[in-house]
Every structure is written in C-alpha cells, then in structure tokens.
Chains A and B, each alone.
Chain A
C-alpha cells in the first residue's frame, strides 16, 4: 500500500479521487483552499471536473445539480463559505442528494481568524440552514482519518441519500503527515432509480422540494425523520480510549480529541483514572458511547474550541447524572495536554488512587 506525505487538505482531495468523485465545485477560502488546488491539478486527468464557482452559493448549487445526476460530487470550504452554502445544503437534504461537504473550520464569528476552531459545531450538527434536516457529520483527528473518513463519507452519502459533512479544522488541514493510501473495496451498488439523466425509456422524473399541501408536507417530514432515526440507530461512531475503568472522562473530537489522548496518558501516570470518548460522528452524536459509562463516572470534562457547544449533547447523553464541565480555548488557540489535566484536577480533585502507569 502506498504511503505518502501530504498536507491534510490534499489528503482530502486524494481520498475524493480514489472514492470515484467525479466533480468538485468550490470557491477558495483559507484554510481549505488546498482542496480545490489539489483537485484542480489532479482530478481532470482522472476524467473528472473541477470548477471554481462565482461564490459558495454557486458552488453548492452546482453540487446540487451534479448530485441529481447520480455522480459523486464534493465541495470544500471554511466557515464563512459554509455559511453561504447553508441554503443549498438545506435544499440538498430535502431532495435527499448524496454529496460530501468539507468544512475546514476557522474561528469566528464574522470573518474571524484562520486558526483551528470548532465553532461551527452547532451549525454542522443542528441544521445550519432552514428546515428540520440533519447532516451526517464526521470528525477526523489526524491525517489518516482525513483520508479514511472522506472515503467513508461518500459511501454514507450514497447509502442514505443524504449530504455528509467532514468537519475538520485548519490545524489538520495545513499539517503534513504521512498517510497510507488504502485501497477501498468497490463502493456498494446503490439504488440510482431516482436520478435525473434524461427520461429515455422511462417516466419523467422531478427532483424538487416544493410542497404546497400540508398533508404532503407532513408525509415528507415523516419520511426524512424515519431516515434520520435509522442513521441515529446505526451510525453512531466513536473511539473509546482507556474508558473501561475510568472514573473521569474527557469528551473531545478532532484536533482536541487527539490532544486529549496525551492528557489521558499523563493522568494515568499520576494514578488518575481518566478516559476519553472521541466522537467520530458529531451527528449522530455517539450517545451509545457515553451513556453506558455514566454510572461509573464521577465527572466529565468536554474539551472544545468554542464557548461550549458539544457539551449540550454530552449533557443529554449523560442525562445530567454526572457533573459536566467545559474546558475550552478559542480564537484559534489550542490547549496543551497539561492545561487540560490541570483544569480537571482543579475542578474534580481526583484522588489519584488508581494504578500508576509509567
């Protein structure tokens, strides 16, 4: 298997090509621009199309059109650009179009800064556009996962006929790391009996989301709801790290999820029974990863790069049976493993009676 050294954003591009992505529509914005640059250089020679749109609204609507034809399509942007795409994402969710969206988060609000942030958690997981829809949201924490999850995103999008977002940040996007370019087993055959490609030999099809009859509207909502419930049931994903005997738990995703692993190891050296749940799917949120631990836990700290967004989902998952606190950095700052541990020690005063791992 090929091993390469690439920037995080380039890895996303390579994963898309190897997933059979045929079209990319986007508009440059730091820190996501290497995705469109990499694909501009490498997708056309593979028979694909890259188009730099007039803006992100154009780009997402081009994705919408291309997705209607059943071809795999990708767009990538960063926070302000993702805001502009929200209208189109809502329409794509309504028409149930498979497509992959990458948000290389930067900090906000407003134009914000370029440093790593998780300030778009609410926007990604709670339906950033109008209407009651859900995106499947995957959160990689290192280069290999940028590759693996991007590939997975295309399959999930096809399987559920739903837009899927890869939620990453400028730290991951800009860092160079070695990645194994794993081959992917052939994508499973998906039902394409809905695509629009000219009505030769069949009834005409309409892909649209307009319903002026309330009864029909409710039927549509119930249909989407059923799909979202199925996804919640089947697709919750997380990584458990030293949780078996944990008395304290960190919950953190993406870049901070990775940092928290070091915090856990440092805590264990001090005899503190600390574990980590790193959500891989931000939606559906991995309730199943957290709830079974609740009875053994004395406290939870969520570590986030925002004012505390995911903590709401953690509280719901833990049914508020455990004290839950937030440790956060903002504006592009990253926490160190030590400051996270210091916070946890300060708040919970753990007794350090566990086995000491050196």
Chain B
C-alpha cells in the first residue's frame, strides 16, 4: 500500500501525555514539521520550560535542555552564545514567559538574541491546576480568581507579544491561534518564519499562539475551541505584529 501520510521526523513515537483536546500537541506538531521541512532537526537545541509545555522535551527528536520556570530564554541565550551556528528555540507557557520570566523575554528581545521563542497562551497556569496567569481574561474564573479576574486588584490581561513587538531587537513577532484548520496553517507559516529569521541571523523572533486548556477551563475539547474563539480572539489580536524589511524579504 502506498504511504500517504506519516509522522513528522521532528516528533518521536512517544505518546503525548496532554489532556484530551489540549492544543499543546497541535502546536508541537507544527514546530516539528517546520524543523523537518527546514532540515534542521539535528542542528537544533530546544529549551523546555516548567509547565505543561515542559513535557515537549520528551516528544521532539532534537536535543533538549530543561530550564527552571521562566528561565528558558536566558538558558537559550547561553546555548546560542556558546554555539552560534546551531538553531535554538524555547517553547514556553504564558505564565513562564510573561510572568516569572518577563525580564528574560524583554531582554533577549532587546539584545536581538538570535533565538526563536514560542509562547503558548492558554490564559491559565495549566500544570499547577488552573491558577490565574497574566493572560487570564477579565472576569475569568480560575482557582486563584474564584470570583473572576477583577481588574481592580489583578489588573487587565497582558497582550505580551504586543509588548515585545515594541522592542527594537525583536524583528519578527506574530500572534496566531490553532483553533481552526485555517488558523493552524497560518500558525505554521509564522513558526516557519520565526525559525528562518534565526537561520538568517536577523534577530529575535517570537510567535505567540492561542491554545486551549480544556481541563482547567472545565470544558469539553470542542467547547474549549468555541470559548477560545469567542473570548480570546477579541482580546488577543491575531496577525503579524512586527516584521522588519529583511524579514519580509525572506
């Protein structure tokens, strides 16, 4: 029989351990496909965070380093400065990159660090059981905002990629989603671009990806996708937020 589809070489045959319907798996597959298409699996070192995102180190087929919570971009900086010819990327949750790791995110962008960062925004702390994240929506119930996020005491949700896009060293910043086939295709294009930016040595690249957490949102996988579309898309504007000329020409 003719083989018409097979697993990308960027992913191992280990079974995903994510909850049913969690889109972490979708995002990892896109990254793996991009690594295969660019033929960089053997030249890439990934940096995993702490969070559900952290399990990625077991699934990708490239080398991996596990960082402390929030430190992935500092670790990636160390790797890249030591091995400038290798490809280095971080895969981080919204809490990891936009709360505890904020200083590293801002300053790896400011330095124009030649790394690629993927931020998975599920508006919650998934791994620790659904606490409030900087990205948690106004009024959204989490275990640490049981009556809904109150902007008076907890502030408004932070649109992190927009903040990064303001930094000169960030040369490519995109905000995408994996809620539909159309958006998944766009997400893959953005991820690919973010790796190509690094190959070309142009500067720091970030792709923020809206993702679901059915378990901690307390919804079915299908309802989660609807909820993401109805509630997250209006707040987190999708699209290429920043792209310098050299990146456009890639």
| Partner-B contacts on A (CB < 8 A) | 22-23, 25, 49, 51, 53-55, 57-59, 61-69, 71, 73, 87-88, 91, 95, 196-201, 204-210
CB contact between A62 and one of B57, B60, B78, B86 (< 8 Å): that residue: B78
Q: A23-B82, A208-B57 given as contacts; is B64 within 8 A of A61 (CB)? A: no
Q: Give A156 to B75 CA distance when docked, in angstroms.
A: 23
Q: Which of B50-106 contact A (CB under 8 A)?
A: 50, 54, 57-58, 60-68, 71, 74-83, 86, 103-104, 106
| Partner-A contacts on B (CB < 8 A) | 12, 41-45, 47-48, 50, 54, 57-58, 60-68, 71, 74-83, 86, 103-104, 106-107, 111
CB contact between B103 and one of A51, A58, A69, A73 (< 8 Å): that residue: A58
CB contacts (< 8 Å) of A198 on chain B: these are 42-45, 62-63, 83, 86
Q: Is there contact, CB below 8 Å, between A66 and B104?
A: no
What are 10 A-B pairs at a CB distance below 8 A? A51-B77, A55-B103, A61-B78, A66-B79, A87-B68, A198-B42, A199-B63, A204-B12, A205-B64, A208-B66
Q: Give A124 to B114 CA distance when docked, in angstroms.
A: 34
A197 to chain B, nearest CB (A): 6
For the complex of A and B, list the 9 residue pairs with the smallest distance between their C-beta atoms, beginning with the closest.
A208-B66, A65-B78, A61-B74, A62-B78, A54-B107, A65-B75, A66-B78, A65-B79, A66-B82
CB contacts (< 8 Å) of B71 on chain A: these are 57-58, 61, 64, 88
Q: Give A87 to B75 CA distance when docked, in angstroms.
A: 13
CB contacts (< 8 Å) of B65 on chain A: these are 64-65, 68, 196, 206-208
Q: Give A23 to B188 CA distance when docked, in angstroms.
A: 34
CB contacts (< 8 Å) of A71 on chain B: these are 82
Q: Is there contact, CB below 8 Å, between B43 and A200?
A: yes
Q: Is there contact, CB below 8 Å, between B66 and A207?
A: yes
Q: A71-B82, A199-B41, A200-B43 given as contacts; is B66 within 8 A of A206 (CB)? A: yes
CB contacts (< 8 Å) of B77 on chain A: these are 51, 58, 61-62, 65
B204 to chain A, nearest CB (A): 14
Q: Give A22 to B48 CA distance when docked, in angstroms.
A: 24
Q: Is there contact, CB below 8 Å, between A196 and B45?
A: yes
CB closest chain-B residue, reference A206: B64
B19 to chain A, nearest CB (A): 16
CB contacts (< 8 Å) of A22 on chain B: these are 82
Q: A196-B64, A210-B54 given as contacts; is B75 within 8 A of A64 (CB)? A: yes
CB closest chain-A residue, reference B100: A57
CB contacts (< 8 Å) of B57 on chain A: these are 206, 208
Q: Give A204 to B42 CA distance when docked, in angstroms.
A: 8
CB contacts (< 8 Å) of A88 on chain B: these are 68, 71
Q: Is there contact, CB below 8 Å, between A63 and B78?
A: yes
Q: Is there contact, CB below 8 Å, between B107 and A58?
A: yes
Q: Is there contact, CB below 8 Å, between A69 and B61?
A: no
CB closest chain-A residue, reference B88: A65
- Residue of A49, A61, A68, A205 most packed against chain B (CB within 10 A): A61
CB contacts (< 8 Å) of B41 on chain A: these are 199
Q: Give A66 to B82 CA distance when docked, in angstroms.
A: 5
CB closest chain-B residue, reference A209: B66
Q: Is there contact, CB below 8 Å, between B47 and A65?
A: yes
CB closest chain-B residue, reference A67: B78
